[in-house]
Structure 1
């Protein structure tokens, strides 16, 4: 059981694998995962099921170059590779809970390492931000999912930004209808219009030098407005839910 702080220490390989599998299974919207490539096989069923649930899966793999490369399209939305020894073992689920520790726990069952699971939104947000702002940026993109079928409604804003970026990258005009909160007075409203920009560093080409920035610019009736994710402050609106569609379908 976790203590009141929401922390639990894991010192065995089997315990860490079980904890990671449970975290992956718990995700409804998004997963970030950094782990040795040679350990991927232990999580393939859970990752595949997450993709089937339309969870955003950002997977960062490192280590053994001789390890077989799986069919990434079955287990991830985007995959990057990074040199071994740089990245810790890391999982976040829905930016609500996660695990961090030494990646040697998955590659050496006799090593004296440990990992910590946490059920704490602030910790999860910090780990998610570190994952994208540091480790993900250092990685090399080796797989990105195809642009999704439209229309599609997203509750995970970063997933909407990724798909909008892919659409814009491919020259596919898209429109958005978003339920949002004003970042100035917190009033709720709905805005709609063509998506004219996606600021992000989730996929190539990165359009923002700030790794924490994920925003869309929508050409609404009143003119272009910016929409950010949960906790947005620099954008005009914070997104609660957004539907993307092909512009030529209207």
Structure 2
């Protein structure tokens, strides 16, 4: 390490420029008087005493004021480094605690400049997903997050995955990574939404190259994330080709993500299963109290699996026969259907 870098590192430890000059002078001589150090550094002897006391408090030197004249001796560097390491380790628990607390309260918008941070944020969001993941990533990067995606599927998260810049992606390669996997041979941005709350958009180069000067944006805003989801479904999902689809899940099951309920109802209907639905619903665009609807799913309108049966990319609907009429159910915030709901229970009709 050259002198310039050494000085920078010492200043990063909190030493001022004059403290660095004084400390390096003491190191070079091993032990010296205040007068000798003052002559070497060009500062007053009084200032040398003041700096030496500060360096002693930090563990860099020892001041021997029991002799005349007073001498200042450098502590062996390995002892200094050991002392600094011990102090950092003492801080570790407190720093981790504060970092964890701040991580649970992410900023609404965060401009990300480094590849490492993009990868960390992608992994963190996927690991913490509880209901739904929409994700597009280049095939080159897929192996780095395959374990996290598989774990999300195993814990019941709806995972919709587009693999971009794909070269002959086979169903066996994609099996278990997502509920539905599509591939596209064209490049596209990395896009991620999680639980309709967290979002991230990044140029693909930020994870496929180590020296990219591009920037990514992560955000936490329930009003904005659905806009990104709509773009994902309306622009990119439709352009990609279906590669793999999960098997129908065991029922009964309750789904708090409505698209997941629509996917499972679709898969079971295509397997010739009769599906019963129960849900607490509210009339769309009305302030009425909730009511319980029970009936048989007779149709789904969806764009999650091929062939699509919806009229609009955001349309995901359960059409339910409730005995005296047929009604349509949508998720929270729906406006195309008769009713909206926050949770749906599907079961096999007896």
The bucket for the TM-score relative to the shorter chain is over 0.9
Pair 1:54-2:156 in alignment: yes
Structure 1 SS opposite 2:163: strand
Structure 2 SS opposite 1:196: strand
**Is residue 163 from structure 1 mapped to residue 264 from structure 2 by the alignment?**
yes
Q: Are the aligned partners of 2:170 and 2:243 in contact in 1 as well (CA < 8 Å)?
A: no
C-alpha deviation, 1:4, in angstroms: 9.0
Q: Rg: which structure is higher?
A: 2
Q: Contact 2:106–2:220 (CA<8 Å) still a contact in 1?
A: no
Q: Secondary structure at the match of 2:342?
A: strand
The aligned runs of 1:1-250 (5 Å cut-off) are 6-65=108-167, 71-85=173-187, 87-183=188-284, 184-247=286-349, 250=350
The alpha carbon displacement at 1:67 in A equals: 7.8
Deviations 1:19-64 (A, max 9, x none): 1001101211000000101101111221122112100000000115
Deviation at 1:5, TM superposition (A): 6.3
Contact kept? 1:180, 1:239, Cα under 8 Å: yes
Please identify which structure carries the higher helix content.
2
Unaligned runs of 5+ in 1: none
Instruction: Determine if contact 1:181/1:240 at 8 Å carries over to the other structure.
Output: no
Distance 1:116 1:128, change over 3 A: same
Q: Which fold has the larger relative contact order, with Cα–Cα distance below 8 Å and residues 6 or more apart in sequence?
A: 1
Task: Describe the SS at the equivalent of 1:211.
Answer: coil
- Paired residue secondary structure (1:35): strand
Give the distance between the partners of 2:201 and 2:292, measured in 1 at CA. Answer: 38
d(CA) in 2 for partners of 1:151 and 1:173?
Answer: 12
1:53–1:34 distance in 2 versus 1, CA, 3 Å: same
> Displacement of 1:168 after TM fit?
1.8
Are 1:38 and 1:67, in contact at CA under 8 Å, matched by a contact in 2?
no
Quick one: distance in 2 between partners of 1:77 and 1:158? 11
Cα displacement (A) at 1:222 = 3.3
Supply the distance in 1 between the matched residues of 2:243 and 2:106 (Cα, whole angstroms).
Answer: 40
Provide the aligned length of Structure 1 versus Structure 2. Answer: 247
Q: CA deviation at 1:221?
A: 3.1
TM normalised by structure 2 equals 0.67
2:166 touches 2:183 (CA, 8 Å); kept in 1?
Answer: no
TM-score, normalized by length of structure 1? 0.93
Name the one with the larger strand percent: 1
Q: Distance in 1 between matches of 2:228 and 2:238?
A: 14
Residues 1:179 and 1:37: Cα distance change in structure 2 (over 3 Å): same
Q: What's the C-alpha RMSD, in Å, of the aligned pairs? A: 2.0
The answer for unaligned runs of 5 or more in structure 2 is 1-101
Question: How far does residue 69 in structure 1 lie from its aligned partner after superposition?
Answer: 7.5
